[in-house]
Amino acid sequence: MANPLVQLNTQGQSPWYDNIDRSQLDSGEFQRMLNEDGILGVTANPTIFEKSISAGHAYDEQMSQLISDGKSTNEIYEAVIIQDIRTVADLLRPIYERTDGADGYVSLEVSPELANDTEGTVSEAKRFWKMVERPNLMIKIPATPAGIPAIYEVLRSGINVNVTLIFSLQAYRQVVDSYQRALQDLHSRGEDLSRIASVASFFVSRVDTLVDKRLEDMSKATNDTSEQQKLKSLEGKAAIANARLVYQDFKKLFATSAFESLKQAGAH
């Protein structure tokens, strides 16, 4: 039976693995996934790393040494994740080279504590970029009011960005504007746009989680059976409808003459 993830590749889709675990890296399981399961990218966040670190003993030796060296909690955390991110980036590098930078990325998220701090986000993104030193790294930045200008600044610095926590059409449009303005700045400086990559990670399921709860509350607040049935029929549909609207925006925003000029200069 054909692997559905591999089949996705044939449809122009790029499955990303939302997890990093050193035990998978050490055992060869992650390499197997790249070879057999069609995985073309990886993303992670502090929660994922917390689960990986606490679930087994793969990190014990490194952490014990760092503790003995007198490192702070944050220094230990960063040393651990940077090592994993570098390892994953190197394993993904053949994909990155084979696809000429279209795939083969690993994402590293800035601290959630910086969600409302534009300057702090930009500073940490640049610091992580220098620490990892891999061209197939993406820095994850949330599409918060403070994150939007940070996305622009980081991209125009030549750093790849994975924009996360996008829930609405308005936020998506702001993200696209930041991306395209950053590319225009880079192009005006004569930079190679083909080496700059960015993805907009639009959240789907969490929209339904919120909307369905509201629909449930509205249903409980009425005794009208017909109204209850109508509300029930709407459950599980808001997120997909929202995603469809965003996709229509995507097609329009990347079909302009301005972006076509950027594409001619190598933009993705």
Residue 78 has pLDDT above 70, yes or no: yes
pLDDT in tens, 154-208: 999 999 999 999 999 999 999 999 999 999 999 999 999 999 999 999 999 899 9
Query: What is the rounded distance in angstroms from the CA atom of residue 268 to the CA atom of residue 259?
Result: 10
Catalytic residues: 140
Instruction: Among 3.40.50, 3.10.450, 3.90.930, 3.40.30, name the CATH number for the domain at 110-203+257-268.
Output: 3.40.50
Ranges in the chain annotated CATH 3.40.50: 110-203+257-268
The backbone region for 190, taken as left when phi is positive above 0, alpha when psi lies in -120 to 50, beta otherwise, is: left
Residue 4 has pLDDT above 90, yes or no: no
Neighbour order of strands in the sheet with 16-18: 16-18, 41-43, 105-109, 137-142, 161-166, 198-202
pLDDT in tens, 33-67: 999 999 999 998 888 998 998 888 999 999 999 99
Question: pTM to 2 decimals?
Answer: 0.92
